[in-house]
């Protein structure tokens, strides 16, 4: 079945550094990938929609200069958390679908801890 690989699964970084998270669709081409953030005891919050070959569309309240998204190919999207701060610590999840009629498949998520 369709697999979305997200790497790394866990990362600890110091405040002020940048962290890159990769999301790959392994056996299908994903024109669109989505990035989510999960807060404790809350549902997933959509951060941005990543479209291959174009700029990402950010949801209201999400800083595009802080959360840089690059969708360089049909199988890879990256989220870079720039100048990370402790409040950026969270669980980040990506998802992708092969087409509009297919369910979204999720990566296993990345637990980011900023110290």
* Contact of 49 with 56, CB cutoff 8 Å: yes
Cβ neighbour number for residue 67 with a 10 Å cutoff? 20
Please say which residue, 28 or 106, places its beta carbon nearer to another protein.
106
CB of 83 to another protein, least distance (A): 26
Asked whether the CA dihedral 88, 75, 48, 102 is positive or negative, the reply is negative
Considering only residues 7 through 66, tell me which ones interact with another protein, judged by CB under 8 A: 31-32, 34, 41-44, 46, 49, 51, 57
Tokens coding 46 = 């959509």
Binding footprint of another protein on the chain (CB under 8 A): 6, 31-32, 34, 41-44, 46, 49, 51, 57, 91, 93, 95, 97, 100, 103-109, 111
């Amino acid at each position: 079945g369709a697999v979305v690989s997200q790497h790394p699964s866990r990362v600890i970084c110091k405040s002020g550094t940048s962290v890159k998270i990769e999301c790959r669709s392994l056996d299908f081409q994903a024109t669109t990938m989505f990035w989510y953030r999960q807060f404790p005891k809350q549902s997933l919050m959509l951060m941005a929609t990543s479209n291959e070959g174009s700029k990402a569309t950010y949801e209201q309240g999400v800083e595009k200069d802080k959360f840089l998204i690059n969708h360089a190919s049909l199988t890879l999207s990256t989220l870079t958390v720039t100048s990370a701060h402790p409040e950026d610590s969270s669980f980040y999840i990506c998802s992708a679908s092969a087409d509009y009629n297919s369910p979204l498949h999720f990566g296993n998520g990345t637990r980011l801890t900023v110290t």
